Every structure is written in structure tokens, then in C-alpha cells.
Amino acid sequence: MTTRFNEPNYSFLVETLTAEGEHLCYWRINQVLPRNTFIAASDALHNQVNRHLHALSKRLGLEFGVALAGPLDEVTDSMTKYGYVVD
């Protein structure tokens, strides 16, 4: 079975906390990165996600942080292994 060019291959698990630091939920961002520039594209994507999470934090008064990031399969395996539950 072949992989289509637009299937997600990179993922972020994001944790949401209240302003007091209490856990609210985990959520995922799945992205498609070009295979030929994977490292450079993943660095740029990390920067973009962090900028967006920072802006959301300022706007909503919540705290967001990347708990896991990496290739989709590795993030999925880690989530299963360590019991992360995406709400």
C-alpha cells in the first residue's frame, strides 16, 4: 500500500493548563512535512506551532505546551505507552 503525499506524517501533542497550572486536556496537531526537507521543515513547524500557542496563551489566559512532538507513528506509540488521553 502506498502512502499518499498529503497524509500527516508529523504530530504534536499539546497540553492545556489553567492559569493556575491545573491540567485541562491534551490535543493533537497533525501535519504533513515534505520528506526531502524533513529536518528543516520540522524546525520551521516547531517555531510556527510555538508562536501560535504563545499567541493563544496571551489571548485566552491559558497555558499551552508541547508535551510530545515528532513523526506521527512515534508520537502515537508514546501516547499509548505512557497513557496520554486526547480529549
pLDDT in tens, 37-86: 888 889 999 999 999 999 999 999 999 999 999 999 999 999 999 999 99
* Backbone φ, ψ for residue 66 (5° rounding): -80, 115
pLDDT-derived band at 3 (thresholds 50, 70, 90) equals low
Which is more confidently placed, 40 or 23?
Answer: 23
| CA gap 77, 75 in Å, rounded | 5
**What are the cell numbers at 58?**
496571551
Identify whether 5 is part of a domain.
no
Place of cell 499518499: 4
Identify whether 1 is part of a domain.
no
Global pTM reads: 0.86
Helix (H) or strand (E) holding 81: helix 72-82
Identify whether 29 is part of a domain.
no
Half-sphere exposure of 70 (CA within 13 A, CB side): 9
Identify whether 25 is part of a domain.
no
For residue 13, count other CB atoms closer than 10 A to its CB. 20
Which domain covers residue 71, as residue numbers? 10-20+34-82
* pLDDT at site 34: 86
**How many structural domains is the chain composed of?**
1
